[in-house]
Structure formats: structure tokens, C-alpha cells
Amino acid sequence: MRRISAISIVLLCCSCSVQMQSTEDLTFDDSFRALARSYLDRSTALSPVYATSLGDHRFDGELDEVGVEARARTASFCRDYLERLEKLPRGKLSPANQIDAALLEHDLRKTLWRLEVLQEWAWNPLGYTDLCGRAIYSLMARDFAPISKRLSSTADRLEKLPRLLEQVRGSLVAKRVPKIHAETAVKQNKGVLSILDNMVVPHLDQLGKAERERLEAAMKIARAAVDRHQEWLEKDVLPQAAGDFRIGPELFDRKLAFTLNSPLSRAEIRKRAESELKRVREQMYEISKGVHLKKHPEHEFPAQPDEAHKQETIQGALEFAYADKPARDAVVKTARESLVEIEAFVRKRDLITIPDDPIEIIIMPEFERGVSVAYCDSPGALDVGQKTFYAVAPLPEDWTDKQVDSFLREYNRRSIHDLSVHEAIPGHFLQLAHSNRYPSLLRAVLSSGVFIEGWAVYTEQMLADEGYMNSDPLMKLITLKWYLRGIANAIIDQAIHAGGMSEEEAMRLMTVTTFQEEREAAGKWIRAQLTSTQLSTYFVGYQEHRDLRQEVEKIRGDGFSLKKYHDQVISYGSPPVRFVRSLLLDLPVEP
């Protein structure tokens, strides 16, 4: 099969349809396409690990530079392309190219700000543990090339790992590292060794003698380098870690604007979240009354119930769902079974076009654990059609029976169905498979996390509204509870980092107001400390997707088709929802 380079792909993919434009306009579009090709070709060289994940395999044997010189090169790169963008008259570009130009400018400014102002490279070790893990994982997880070639690239990168970790030690400032980040890095650092044991060692017998000896020697070098780094993390970083995990209101607001790329401000998000919190709890109360009446028809409810009564009623109904939970070792099995049911329902109702791309549910790699329960690992835009991984974290072996029960109550069978909707169909897996096929590689690379997470939350609610599980009220209740989690995410995200919310206050919001189990809330408290602004993407994205659908339904009236709408929304890649609105309704592109 002919190997197509990133440059060739970009030449094919960055072209946009042009309708009845003047020669002058075509020239401006051509200029932008040339700029996009240049940007994509050069940006992947700045991060070989990212290039591999994207599907650009020119640098598979190289490993990122993370020292001061590398940061200077990245900053210079960003300024160069910002200057080139400023010379292009945006209004002369096609709508599709106007959007891509806006996305590129936004991303370049965000990268500069994170390098020069936020400076996570100096205080967040988790970016480095992820980089080291993905350096090998991205080579071994998918069959994009013969195993011998991928193993050879693995050896190349392992030989360079000591240099990378030395640069990490020269970049991180121990006193600036928050303790929670240091503790998590200590747990994650050796994850790269588990990748070697689980994904590399089993293939050694497929190499010739010389190649095998080289790889074994490289693994020995890497193991020693990781052990040395582990000792540094434990004996130097962890004891000195004194940074504040709260980034503060000024940094939070700026980072939020870069993360969301949305007109919604922190204050507006909080206002909407508080309003939705009340509305959804009322909806859950009405459903819960029906659940109780089905069990006890003689029961009477007060005409004006107080909040304590509503809380007890909702909690009591949820207990029926919690009783149907998987065994400790059956979470992944239950996820696989749920996916079969979900896909059958979506196909039967003809809700959206499902791609033929392969998807596999796996145990989450060790280097990724400690932040979330599950994630969707889709192939890069240049590896379209390769396997998607829906990863689920195993339960920690040191958990008590009480902690295990708390987790399984939260991730009961209906919750796992909701999780699979979010991570797979019609959520991340399906949407990203379509996104990667959009005829602009630049847009695929500069995807909006708000669009992606918002779409996944939207599909959870949409499937429940369409009657998934035979309109089971407990499934609807669980789906609404998951939406409450998204609302709580947005509140604690800003309240912790910009408002000083305490652990006790956050835990009460999660465990009482939004009905989360202790294990889920405890994990979210850790995640909220380790990250900032990402937790807001679920709620904000859902709000924008919901608003857009309501607007389009109103405009199209009786001509509205749910499948046509869904297919059209995800046909534009993954840009911010406001840009999808412009394309969907043929409106001017807002800056």
C-alpha cells in the first residue's frame, strides 16, 4: 500500500469547495491553504509524539524536546504564523476557510499564553508522564505499519528517553509543583514500563537477532532512566512540592476563554448552571415519584414538598438503579454488552449514521490512570479507519469493600450504558470518526473540546428522550443524574480555582446536591485539582448543542429530521458550536 505523507494528505484535505468566487477571492483562499499546509507540515515536527498520534509517521523514531530551546522554537513558530495570518484579509476567504483561520489564530495565541504566562511546563509533571507513555503507546496500540517497523521506532525512542527525562528535570521547578500533582506523577511515572511489559515484550520473538538485541538494550536503558526519574520525583519533587493547585481567578478566566472559545463568560456559566441544577432536580423528583408509585401505589406525596422530602424521594428511587450493579471484575464486560444494545437501538431508530470503523473496549493503560474513569482514544486524522479504544480504568486493588461498593453503585449497569453512549455511540467514537473525515485536516487538528464533550453529553440526553431501554424511568433518572454531574463539574471547576471552594463544600455539592457516590466525588475532587477549565466543557458544550438544536427545529418546523440534523452537525468536523451554527444556517461567520 502506498504510504501517503502528511504533506500529501494536507494537499488533498485542506481544499474547500468554492462557489462562484472571483479570481481575487480564489487567490486569497489559495494563500490560506498554502499557509495551512505549511503550518501542519512544520507543527508536527515540533512534537514527534503528537505527530505519531495524529498519523504523521515521518518522526516515529524521534522524541520531543522539552527544554528552554524547544520552548523558544515553539514561541517563535507561533509568532511567525500569527504574522502570516494577519496579512490575510479574513473577509475575502470562503466561510469554511474563515473558520479555519479563526481556529488557527486562537490556537496559536493559546499556545503562546500557556508557554509564557501559565507555564505548566515548570509546575505540572503530568504532561511529561503522559508524553513519555504516549511516546511508546502510540507506536504500539495501532497497526499502522508492520510490527517490526514499529518496534524499531520504539527502540529509537527508548534510546532517547534518558535525554527527555533529563530535560524534564531541568524544566520542572519542584517548589512550584502542587503536592497533588507530585503525588499523581509518582503513581503514573512507571506506567511506561507497564507498556513495555504488556505491549512490546510479547512481540520480541518477531524480530531478528540483531534487532531484538538492540530493542532489549534500549528497554534496559529506558528502565534505568525511568527508575532514576522515579527516585527524583519521590525524593526531590514530592518533599518540596508547595505550589497551589488553584490557578486563581485571573489565570482561570483567561484559560477558560482559550479552552471554551465561546461567548459564555464565567458568570454566565455559573448562572446557567445554578438554574439548570434546580430544573433538573425538579425533573428527577417527578420521575422518582412515578418510580415509587409503581412500587407502592398507595403512597401519597405532599402537595408542597420541602427540599428534604425531594432529596429523600430522589435518593430512594436511585437506590433501585444502584441495586443492579456489575461485579467488581465485570465492569469492562458490562461496557462491551452495553455497546451492543446501544448500537442496535440507534440503528433501529435510524438516529444517526454509524461508521464502520473498529472500536475496542480496553483496560486503561497505567500511565493514564488517576484522572478519569474512562476515555475515548480515537485515531489521529491521518490514521482514519484505524481502531478506536474505549478505555475503562480498573478498580484499584487497595480499595476496601466499602469503596468498591460505592464505585459500583455509581457505575451501576444503567450508568455504564450511559458511559458507553458518551464515550462510544453516538458520542465520542462516532462523532470523532466523522470529524476525522472532514475535508480540512487543519480543522481536525484544531478540534474544540467543548464541541466534542458537549456532543457526548447531548447524545446521552437525546437517547433517553428517544426512549432508550424502553423508556425505562430508572434509565432516564440515571441519565439526568449524569447531567447533574456535568452541571456540578462546571460549578466546582470555577468555584475551586477562582473562588476558593473547599473540599468539604465540593464534596457536599457532589454527594448530596447532585447524588454522586463518595468514590466518584472523591475522584472528581482529585481531578478538579489536577486540571482546570476542562471540567466546564461538558456543561457549556451541552448548552450550546441544545440551544442549536432548538433553534434549528424551530426554523425547519415539520421539515426537521433528527437523523439529517445529527449527520449535518457532525459533518463539519469539531469546531466551536457557534461556527457550526453559521454553516448550518448559512449565516456570516462570527470572529
pLDDT at 371: 62
pLDDT for residue 12 is more than 50: no
Strand ranges across the sheet with 359-363: 359-363, 388-392, 374-377
pLDDT per residue over 184-210, tens digit each?
A: 999 999 988 999 999 999 999 999 999
pLDDT for residue 21 is more than 60: no
Percent of the chain past pLDDT 90, that is, above it, reads 85
pLDDT at 370: 62
| Averaged pLDDT for residues 157-183 | 98
Task: Calculate the average pLDDT of the chain.
Answer: 92
Catalogue the E-assigned strands of 350-500: 359-363, 374-377, 388-392
What band does 26 get if pLDDT is binned at 50, 70 and 90? Answer: low
Give the residue from 74, 163, 160, 168 showing the smallest Cα distance to 130: 168
- Which residues contact residue 257 at a Cβ distance below 8 angstroms, ignoring those fewer than 6 apart? none
User: In this structure, are strands 359-363 and 374-377 parallel, antiparallel, or unpaired?
Assistant: unpaired
pLDDT for residue 490 is more than 50: yes
Q: Are 301 and 289 in contact (CB under 8 A)?
A: yes
Q: Which three cell numbers stand for residue 496?
A: 475551586
pLDDT at 82: 98
Q: Is 364 exposed, middle or buried (0-12, 13-18, 19+ CB in 10 A)?
A: buried
Q: Are 548 and 454 in contact (CB under 8 A)?
A: no
Angstrom distance (rounded) from CA 401 to CA 417: 24
pLDDT at 104: 98
* Higher pLDDT, residue 379 or 217: 217
Q: State which H helix or E strand residue 547 sits in.
A: helix 537-556
| Averaged pLDDT for residues 445-464 | 96
pLDDT per residue over 311-361, tens digit each?
A: 999 999 999 999 999 999 899 999 999 999 999 999 999 999 999 999 999
What are the residue boundaries of the structural domains of the chain, listed by start? 14-247, 318-584
